[in-house]
Amino acid sequence: MSYELYYWDGIQGRGEFVRLALEDADAAYIDVTREPSRGLNEMLGLLSDPSEGQLTFAPPFLKDETVIVSHVANILLYLGPKLGLAPKEEALRWYANGLQLTITDLVAEVHDTHHPIAVSKYYEEQKTEAKARSFEFWNNRMPKFLAYFERVVQQNPADSGYLVGSKSTYVDLSMFQIIEGLKYAFPKAMNDYERRYPLLARLQNAIKGRPKLAAYLASPRRLAFNQEGIFRHYPELDMAA
Amino acid sequence: MSYELYYWDGIQGRGEFVRLALEDADAAYIDVTREPSRGLNEMLGLLSDPSEGQLTFAPPFLKDETVIVSHVANILLYLGPKLGLAPKEEALRWYANGLQLTITDLVAEVHDTHHPIAVSKYYEEQKTEAKARSFEFWNNRMPKFLAYFERVVQQNPADSGYLVGSKSTYVDLSMFQIIEGLKYAFPKAMNDYERRYPLLARLQNAIKGRPKLAAYLASPRRLAFNQEGIFRHYPELDMAA
C-alpha cells in the first residue's frame, strides 16, 4: 500500500522535506490534500477526530497502514531505512536523527524571521520586529548553522562528501532543501555562499543531480517557493546590497 | 558504564528533560559539567574537537560508550526502552516520539517569549517585543498546546491517565516539567489551569508522587528555576491580574 502524506496544499512547507525523500526513493505515496478524490477535509477530520487514539498536533504526518507518524524528523527516521536513505550503522542513525533535528530548529528560526511575534498575525503586522529578527538571523544564526553543517561534512570520517556515513541519506536531501530555501529567501545574505561553505555547495550540486530528484524538481508536483511557506522572499528582510 | 549527560551547569534548561528520565529510572549517570573532576571545558572541547566524527550543534547530548546522541527528543527516544520508560508497541513508540517533538516545539516557543528577536542579546534589549510575543503565547499558543495534550490523555485508548499507552513513559515526565515550568513562568496565565486541563493536572500529580522522582526533586541535584533557563518569571510578561 502507498504511504499517505498529510500536509497543507499550496506550499512546499515542512511537508517538502518528506516529499524529497519519497520522490528520491521513487516510493509510492499519496499526497492526500492534493488528491482530487481525497482533499483537505480528510486531513482536518483526522486532526479533530474525537475517536482517534493517536492525535497529531499539526501537519505534516504520515500514515503507513495503521501507523501514524508526525513531525518531519520522526517521519524521516521512520521512512529512512525503508527507503534506503538511512545509514546502516545504528550509531549513525542516532547521529542522523540529531542532524535532522538541528535542521528542524533551523527551519523554525527561518519561519520566525517573518513571524517573530505572532503566528496568528500577518507579516505586515510585525514587519519592524521581522527586520530585527532577520538581521540577527543572517548575521549570527544562519552562519552558525551553516558553518556547523560544513564542519559535519568536513569531519565525516567516511569522507564521502555527505553529512553522515559513506552514502547519501535523507539528511542530505533536507540539507539540499534548506540551501534552496535560504537562497530563495535571502539571496543577498546567501550571495557567494559557495565560497564560504564549499562542501555544502558541492553536496547541493550532488543532490540536485540525482535522477529521481531532478525529475521531481522539474515536475509540476514540485511547487515553487512562495510567500505562504516557511521560506519567503521579502527583500526588506534580506541583507542590504 | 554510566551514561554521560552533557549540558550547561546552573540551569535546568533542556537538560532537565533528560535528567528527569534518568532520575526516575534510577539510572547511573554522570552530569559531566557538574562533576568536579570533569567540568565545562570537557563539554566545550567535545563540541569543538576537530577530530570528532560526530559533531553536536548544541547541548544537551548524551554519551553511552561510543554512541553520542544529541537533542532532547532523540536522547529520550534512545534512553526510553533502556530505562523502561517507552511504550512496548512499536507504533506507540513513533507516537511517543511525535508527542515529545511537540513538547520540543512548545519549549522553543517558551524560550522565545523572553527572546523573540535575538538570542545573542539580553532580555532587557527586547522587552517590548517580548511582551507582545508573551501575549500571543499565553493567549493563543499555550492554550492550543495544553488543550491538545489534554485531548491526547483523554483519547488515549488505554484510558490510563497517561499520554501514551497503558503505563507512564518519558513523555509524561517531560509533560510534568512543562507544567512546572509554565506555572513558574506564567503563574497568572496558569492560574486555575487544573480546572481547564483536569487530566493534565491529574497526570502532574501522579508523576510528582513517583518515589524516585520525588526524591530527585527534593535533592540538591534539582536546581531551582531561575532567570537564565528556558522558563523565566518576568512578571511583566505574565497575564495581567
Q: Which domains does chain B possess?
A: 3-83 (3.40.30.10), 90-209 (1.20.1050.10)
Contact A15, A46 (CB under 8 A): no
Residue A214 has pLDDT above 80, yes or no: yes
Residue A241 has pLDDT above 80, yes or no: no
Q: Which residues of B touch A53 (CB under 8 A)?
A: 155-157
Q: Quick one: pLDDT band at residue A106, thresholds 50, 70, 90? A: very high
Question: Cα(A151)–Cα(A141) distance, rounded to whole angstroms?
Answer: 15
Question: Residue A1's pLDDT is what?
Answer: 80
Q: Which three cell numbers stand for residue A154?
A: 568536513
Q: Quick one: pLDDT band at residue A149, thresholds 50, 70, 90? A: very high
Question: Cα(B87)–Cα(B83) distance, rounded to whole angstroms?
Answer: 11
Identify which of A97, A132, A152 has the shortest CB distance to residue B55. Answer: A152
Question: Cα(A176)–Cα(A71) distance, rounded to whole angstroms?
Answer: 19
Rounded to a whole number of angstroms, the distance from the CA of A1 to the nearest CA of chain B is 17
B95 and A51 within 8 Å at the Cβ level: the answer is no
Question: Residue B1's pLDDT is what?
Answer: 80
Rounded to a whole number of angstroms, the distance from the CA of B93 to the nearest CA of chain A is 10
Q: Quick one: pLDDT band at residue A226, thresholds 50, 70, 90? A: very high
Question: Residue B179's pLDDT is what?
Answer: 98
The ranges of chain B with pLDDT < 70 are 241
Give the three-class secondary structure for A14. coil
Contact A8, A32 (CB under 8 A): no
A52, A62, A58, A75: which is closest to A32 by C-alpha? A62
Question: Residue A164's pLDDT is what?
Answer: 98
Range list of β-strands (E), B21-143: 29-31, 61-64, 67-70
pLDDT, average across residues A25-49: 96
B94 and A74 within 8 Å at the Cβ level: the answer is yes
Instruction: For helices B127-136 and A127-136, give the axis angle rounded to 10 degrees.
Output: 110
So what's the ipTM on this one?
A: 0.98
> ∠ CA B60-A177-B95 to the nearest 5 degrees?
50
pLDDT tens column, B200-215:
999 999 999 999 999 9
pLDDT, average across residues A41-49: 95
Q: Which three cell numbers stand for residue B7?
A: 549540558
Phi, psi of B125 (to 5 degrees): -85, -5
All residues at 6 or more sequence positions from A172 whose CB lies less than 8 Å from its CB, including other chains: A162, A163, A203, A206, A207
Which residues does residue B30 pair with via DSSP β-bridges, in sequence order?
Answer: B4
